[in-house]
Amino acid sequence: MRFYRLQDNAVFCRMQALIKKTLHDEKHGGMSMEEAAREMEEMLPVLLTFGEEQAVPGNLWQLYLTLLLIQDVNAYTLSCERREGVKGSVYQTVQQDLDEVFALYQYDFAPLSAQIRVPGFSEIEGFVPGAVHSSILSDEVRDNVRKLRDDLAKTEDALAFRACLERFYAQYGIGVFALYKGFRIDRDGGLLPIRETAPASLDDLVGYENVKRKLKENTDAFLEGRPANNVLLYGEAGTGKSTCIKALCNSDFREGLRVIEVFKGQYELLHTVIESVRGRHYRFLLFMDDLSFEEFETEYKFLKAVIEGGLEERPENVLIYATSNRKHLIRESFSDRDGLSVGDKHPGDTVQEKLSLSDRFGLSIYFESPAQEEYHTIVQELADRYGLRIRREELREMATTWELRHGGPSGRVARQFIDDLRGKIG
């Protein structure tokens, strides 16, 4: 194969050899019955283990091939992801690859299983998992993969097979970005997929309609390729700032949004991360939770250059969404403004330097703590949502007692109170 690199996968190579060599007799380079049986016995536990990890019933060989085709990043699949269309010599060469893959995909193991009786080998075409959920993929993505496998299995020829693949590439993309919504950064600037992102929704945040609207409008503009701003969500703890970004990660996955979580101490790696996603069809949010710096910390200088001000232009498919409990992200002291810092002859410059990071966020959205009545409204709506049948007056009294013991009214405190009730009521 010239574009797809399926031969880099050992399981694919062994299964390909098994299929091809059992189609010929020994005189023409085929396998003996003993060799085929031994190979089938060795491959069976590999495929069954794979099937249990994915928790997808049905044809395991086709499922394995489907995941390989999704994860193969090459010039052809990248063009499909970018919806550029493939023509000319590349088209013909890719079609040769997919002619071969189509033949392997449609191979019927039933005659081979009947001829060479390896206990359990017939299970690879009618696999029934014991697990309910995949240990590798989220339920949503697993179902996308299963649907693609089933759609590919129904295709009548290699051209239809190719068209089905290209539709998937255009909608979900390729590689790890097709299979995961969120990512973390390793110590070298590589991306580590997050199997299951927090099941947050904007509807989970009761109230705050205006701030949710502003955030969604900016994000929608970003997804549609229109001008959009980096966003700072700031305000009191427990008001739902992080929940909003986690909710976007879930709601806009099908629209191409991917979220990369950036922790403190990783800002020096941002240029490496950004370069790795430059030019991809996805839209990436660099998510920085609880962003703030003490006076002695200087990492914010890397962040300033990434947001705005460095020589290298930030790609149009990357934005930064950050949350903080304070609008001014770098701690100031009174001595900064009074000119009392030792050795500081220009205190005004010091103040401007510390304010300049916040100023680089084009959109700042304030989340304020709910008033007492708003807090009780949140509690009542959550109680109704979970079907908790408690008299309104009793619920209000219990919620008041809870918030007095847990730091005052907030959306987080309301949810913790309801979770506690749900655990007690069962």
Q: Does residue 361 lie within any of the structural domains?
A: yes
Neighbour-count burial of 5, counting CB atoms closer than 10 A to its CB (0-12 exposed, 13-18 middle, 19+ buried): middle
- 3-state SS of the chain is CCCCCHHHCHHHHHHHHHHHHCCCCHHHCCCCHHHHHHHHHHHHHHHHHHHHHHCCCECHHHHHHHHHHHHCCCHHHHHHHCCCCCCHHHHHHHHHHHHHHHHHHCCCCHHHHHHCCCCCHHHHCCECCCCCCCCCCCHHHHHHHHHHHHHHHHCCCHHHHHHHHHHHHHHHCCHHHHCCCEEEECCCCCEEEECCCCCCCHHHCCCCHHHHHHHHHHHHHHHCCCCCCCEEEEECCCCCHHHHHHHHHHHCCCCCEEEEECCCCCHHHHHHHHHHHCCCCCEEEEEECCCCECCCCCCHHHHHHHHCCCCCCCCCCEEEEEEECCCCCECCCHHHHHCCCCCCCCHHHHHHHHHHHHHCCCEEEEECCCCHHHHHHHHHHHHHHCCCCCCHHHHHHHHHHHHHHCCCCCHHHHHHHHHHHHHHHC
Q: Does residue 13 lie within any of the structural domains?
A: yes
Residues 6+ apart with CB under 8 A from 137: 54, 145, 179, 180, 195
One-letter amino acid at 212 equals: K
Give CA–CA dist 29/25, Å, rounded. 7
Question: Do both 330 and 391 map to the same domain?
Answer: no
Question: Do both 118 and 44 map to the same domain?
Answer: yes
> Which token pair is 162?
């190719």
Q: Does residue 183 lie within any of the structural domains?
A: no
Residue 235's nearest CA partner among 374, 409, 366, 410 is 366
Final residue in a domain of this structure, among 352, 367, 382: 367
Q: Does residue 186 lie within any of the structural domains?
A: no
Q: Does residue 185 lie within any of the structural domains?
A: no
Question: Do both 210 and 255 map to the same domain?
Answer: yes
Q: Does residue 206 lie within any of the structural domains?
A: yes
Final residue in a domain of this structure, among 136, 156, 178: 178
Question: Do both 387 and 268 map to the same domain?
Answer: no
Give CA–CA dist 147/137, Å, rounded. 14
Q: How many domains are there within the chain?
A: 3
Residue 140's nearest CA partner among 285, 252, 62, 277 is 252
The residue segments making up the domain with residue 378 are: 372-425
Residue 358 and residue 329 in contact, taking contact as beta carbons nearer than 8 Å: yes
Sequential pLDDT tens for the chain (426 residues): 788 999 999 999 999 999 888 766 555 456 788 888 999 999 999 999 999 999 999 999 999 999 999 999 999 999 999 888 777 777 788 999 999 999 999 999 888 888 888 888 888 899 999 999 999 999 999 999 999 999 999 999 999 999 999 999 999 999 999 999 999 999 999 999 998 888 888 888 887 889 999 999 999 999 999 999 999 999 888 888 999 999 999 999 989 999 999 998 898 899 999 999 998 999 999 999 988 776 656 666 777 777 765 556 778 999 999 998 876 655 544 444 455 455 544 344 444 545 566 777 889 999 888 888 888 988 998 888 888 889 999 999 999 999 899 888 888 899 899 999 989 886
Question: Do both 251 and 296 map to the same domain?
Answer: yes
pLDDT value for 296: 55
Question: Do both 18 and 167 map to the same domain?
Answer: yes
Question: Do both 235 and 275 map to the same domain?
Answer: yes
Question: Do both 86 and 198 map to the same domain?
Answer: no
Question: Do both 95 and 23 map to the same domain?
Answer: yes
> Which token pair is 425?
């009521």
Q: Tell me, what CATH number does 335's domain have? A: 3.40.50.300
Q: Does residue 22 lie within any of the structural domains?
A: yes
294 in the Ramachandran plot: left (φ > 0), alpha (ψ -120 to 50) or beta?
A: beta
Question: Do both 91 and 201 map to the same domain?
Answer: no
pLDDT value for 24: 64
Question: Do both 239 and 158 map to the same domain?
Answer: no
Question: Do both 281 and 390 map to the same domain?
Answer: no
Q: Does residue 226 lie within any of the structural domains?
A: yes
pLDDT value for 27: 53
pLDDT value for 312: 62
Final residue in a domain of this structure, among 178, 200, 218: 178
Give CA–CA dist 313/304, Å, rounded. 13
